[in-house]
Amino acid sequence: MIVLVTGASGFLGGAVAAELVAAGHEVRTLQRRPSAVEGATDYLGSITDPTVVARAVVGADAVVHLAAKVSLAGDAADFRSINIEGTRTVLDAAEHAAASRFVFVSSPSVAHAGDALAGVSAEPASPTHARGDYARTKAEAELLALARDSDTMRVVAIRPHLVWGPGDTQLVERVVERARAGRLPLLSGGTALIDSTYIDNAASGIAAALRRAEEAHGNAYVLTNGEPRPVGDLLAGICLAAGVTPPAWSVPSSLARAAGSGIEKAWAIKPGVDEPPMTRFLAEQLSTAHWFDQRETRSVLDWTPAVSIDEGLERLAAWYAASR
């Protein structure tokens, strides 16, 4: 197939594009800077530009849409423009180009209203109850994608949860940097049970969704390793892989949530140069259970993760050792 992957300059997008190249597909990528994916053809530009999107998707059989504004803070209008209207633009272009398959890469946060998610499958996306501009706009975009009424294009939403691995600048690098600086507390002891997804598994799972789009059409699936662990254990594993002392101090989750709300208000008035150190959404994510029933995901996608959490941590440690 000819497959267009949007957002391939990102950690997960690049891995998905490389996975599809390795599977023998003709892969195009669309993002604002070169993807560096060997064997793929880059188209540079924004998903908010209909002309650029139309040029990239013409003749494509399928689209995997990952491009998004992913942040804990920022201008609400930017989230809407990129995550909602950008998705609409890509959907319209894919349908006009007669693409037969469309995989929308979403997030479990679209169904998170602040309470624990324990052993559930893909709960309905809720723009009203999701926390923060990113989650709200991704929820609306997912509903937009799954509601696409097309006789020819099969649409499926995949929600990979907490993707990590070597080269990750979002989760792994920030955990390591904050632990090194002594600014990474455990919330209420770090006991909340959470799922995560090693990068290779996330990429192969999304590729499986593309392959099984006919069977999965119209539905959303959460994708994880299926190995829930206490958040403190996962953070410790990442820190130890990087040669950094794991966090050992704890603060009450209620205090972190209150602090996060205050920081969000201050950030809105005077944004910092990086992500805010804490938000209410982040405090909720670090202190409530988030693990998911993977039986339907694995059955429908005909997929199982190939890399365990422990093996992933070993690979991460080897990567850090080679990087020194």
- Where in the sequence numbering do the catalytic residues fall? 134
With contact defined as beta carbons under 8 Å apart, do 33 and 44 qualify? yes
d(CA 31, CA 6): 6
Strand partners, 178: none
d(CA 61, CA 163): 27
What is the full DSSP assignment across 218-281? T-EEEE--S--EEHHHHHHHHHHHTT-PPP--EE-HHHHHHHHHHHHHHHHHS--SS--S--HH
CA 270 from centre of chain: 27
What is the full DSSP assignment across 94-156? HHHTT-SEEEEE--GGGG--SS-EEEE--PPP-TTTS-HHHHHHHHHHHHHHHT---SS-EEE
d(CA 126, CA 115): 14
